[in-house]
C-alpha cells in the first residue's frame, strides 16, 4: 500500500532522527520538520523554496501581510524575503509535519525556456503563493524522500526529480510567479537584483532612487513593484536584513549588541536595541540567550528553526 506524504515524512523522521526539530537530509536543499507543540515565532530569511505541510498548520508574516496554510497545501516562495514564521497547529497526538525544498533557479530557467509558452507579463504579484499540493508534485517529493536512504543515488537522480518539480510548478497556479522569478528583464527579476544589492550592502546607507536607476526602473515603479513582491519598502527590507545579520553575529559569533549594531550599519545602539526588540520580541541579550539553546546541529540531528533556510 502506498503511504501518503505525511506518513512517508514521519517514517523517515522516525528512522533517521530523534525528537522534534528541523532536520537536514542528504538531499540538497531538503529539510524535514516535526513539532509536537506550537512554536514561538521565528524570524528568518526565506529563499525561493517550496514549503510543504503534511500535517498541522503554519502562519507566515511578511511585512504587513499574513499568510496561513495547512495540511495538504504548499507555500511557493519566489523572492528572498525576511519573514516571521510560527507553527500554529501541532500536538503530541497530531504533530506538525512538513518539508522545505530549496528551488534550483538554473533548473527552473532551463525548463521554463523549453516550455516557451509561459505568461510572464503583467504587474508584480506577492512573492508567496499558497496552493494545494497536487498529485504530480507529491509523487516527485516521494521520490526525493526515497533518496534519503540511498545516498549513492542522489547525484544521479536528484537533477531529474528537480526537473519534474520545476515542470509541475510552472504548470501550477503559481507558475507565472515561478517563471517570472527566473526570466531576465522582467520586473521581478530586476527587483531580485536590487534585493541582492541590499543584502550585499546591508551595512551601508542606501539611495533608493539610485538603486532604482541601477536596475533600469523609475523610483515610483521600483517602489511599487518592490512593495508588491515583498509587502515592505526597500528601506524596511534592508532593516530586516541588518537585524538578521546582527542576530547571527550575536548568536553564532558571540558579538556584544554594541559591536553587532555598528557592524551592520547602525550609528545608534539604543535605536538598534529598540528595533531589535520590536522585530524579535525581546532585547538582544535576552533573545540571543534563548536562541543559543537551539543552534544548528550536523546532518542527522535536530536543527534550530533559525538555521533552516535562513542563511544569506
Separation of alpha carbons 151 and 145, rounded Å: 11
Contact in structure between 53 and 60 (CB atoms under 8 Å): no
Beta bridge partners of 68: 59
CATH number at residue 9: 2.60.120.10
Contact in structure between 188 and 180 (CB atoms under 8 Å): yes
Decide: residue 21, CB within 10 A, 0-12 exposed, 13-18 middle, 19+ buried: buried
Q: What is the mean pLDDT of the chain?
A: 88
CA 33, 165, 229, 106 torsion: positive or negative?
positive
In a domain, 139, yes or no: yes
pLDDT tens track for 83-116: 989 999 999 999 999 999 999 999 999 999 998 8
Name the pLDDT band for 122 (thresholds 50, 70, 90): low
In a domain, 166, yes or no: yes
In a domain, 230, yes or no: no
Question: What is the predicted pLDDT for the residue at 78?
Answer: 93
In a domain, 257, yes or no: no
Sheet with 49-55, side-by-side order of all strands: 128-132, 73-77, 49-55, 96-102, 30-35, 21-24, 302-303
pLDDT above 70 (res 301): no
Name the pLDDT band for 262 (thresholds 50, 70, 90): very high
In a domain, 260, yes or no: no
pLDDT tens track for 65-88: 999 999 999 999 999 989 989 999
Specify the length of the chain in residues.
Answer: 312
Non-local (6+) Cβ contacts of 198 within 8 A are 206, 211, 234, 237, 238, 241
In a domain, 284, yes or no: no
Question: What is the predicted pLDDT for the residue at 101?
Answer: 97
Q: Which domain holds residue 96?
A: 5-182
- At residue 145, φ and ψ (nearest 5 deg) are -60, -35
Q: Which three cell numbers stand for residue 186?
A: 522582467
Beta bridge partners of 74: 52, 131
pTM attached to this predicted model? 0.85
How many domains is the chain built from?
1
- At residue 309, φ and ψ (nearest 5 deg) are 65, 25
Average pLDDT over residues 253-273: 95
Question: What is the predicted pLDDT for the residue at 295?
Answer: 53
Q: What percent of the chain has pLDDT over 70?
A: 91
Separation of alpha carbons 41 and 88, rounded Å: 9
Separation of alpha carbons 64 and 291, rounded Å: 25
Give the other-Cβ count within 10 Å of 2's Cβ.
Answer: 7
Q: How far is CA 126 from CA 61, 65, 95, 259, in A?
A: 12, 9, 29, 35
pLDDT tens track for 207-235: 999 999 999 999 999 999 999 999 999 99
pLDDT above 60 (res 38): yes
In a domain, 287, yes or no: no
Amino acid at each position: 500500500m502506498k503511504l501518503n506524504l505525511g506518513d512517508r515524512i514521519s517514517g523517515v523522521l522516525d528512522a533517521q532522527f530523534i525528537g522534534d526539530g528541523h532536520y537536514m537530509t542528504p538531499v540538497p536543499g531538503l529539510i524535514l520538520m516535526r513539532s509536537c507543540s506550537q512554536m514561538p515565532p521565528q524570524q528568518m530569511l526565506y529563499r525561493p523554496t517550496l514549503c510543504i505541510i503534511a500535517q498541522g498548520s503554519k502562519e507566515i508574516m511578511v511585512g504587513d501581510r499574513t499568510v496561513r496554510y495547512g495540511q495538504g497545501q504548499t507555500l511557493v516562495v519566489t523572492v528572498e524575503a525576511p519573514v516571521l514564521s510560527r507553527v500554529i497547529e501541532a500536538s503530541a497526538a497530531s504533530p506538525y509535519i512538513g518539508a522545505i525544498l530549496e528551488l534550483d533557479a538554473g533548473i527552473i530557467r532551463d525548463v521554463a525556456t523549453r516550455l516557451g509558452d509561459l505568461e510572464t507579463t503583467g504587474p508584480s504579484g506577492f512573492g508567496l503563493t499558497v496552493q494545494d499540493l497536487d498529485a504530480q508534485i507529491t509523487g516527485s517529493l516521494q521520490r526525493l524522500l526515497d533518496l534519503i536512504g540511498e545516498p549513492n543515488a542522489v547525484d544521479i537522480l536528484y537533477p531529474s526529480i528537480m526537473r519534474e518539480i520545476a515542470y509541475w510548478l510552472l504548470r501550477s497556479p503559481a507558475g507565472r510567479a515561478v517563471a517570472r522569478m527566473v526570466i531576465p528583464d522582467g520586473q521581478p527579476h530586476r527587483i531580485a537584483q536590487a534585493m541582492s544589492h541590499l543584502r550585499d550592502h546591508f551595512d551601508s546607507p542606501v539611495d533608493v532612487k539610485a538603486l532604482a536607476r541601477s536596475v533600469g526602473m523609475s523610483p515610483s515603479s521600483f517602489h511599487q513593484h518592490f512593495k508588491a513582491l515583498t509587502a515592505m519598502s526597500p528601506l524596511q527590507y534592508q532593516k530586516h536584513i541588518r537585524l538578521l545579520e546582527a542576530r547571527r553575529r550575536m548568536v553564532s559569533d558571540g558579538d556584544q549588541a554594541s559591536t553587532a549594531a555598528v557592524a551592520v550599519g547602525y550609528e545608534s545602539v539604543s535605536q538598534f536595541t529598540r528595533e531589535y526588540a520590536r522585530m524579535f520580541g525581546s532585547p538582544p541579550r535576552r533573545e540571543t540567550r534563548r536562541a543559543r539553546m537551539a543552534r544548528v546541529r550536523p546532518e542527522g540531528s535536530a536543527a534550530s528553526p533559525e538555521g533552516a533556510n535562513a542563511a544569506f
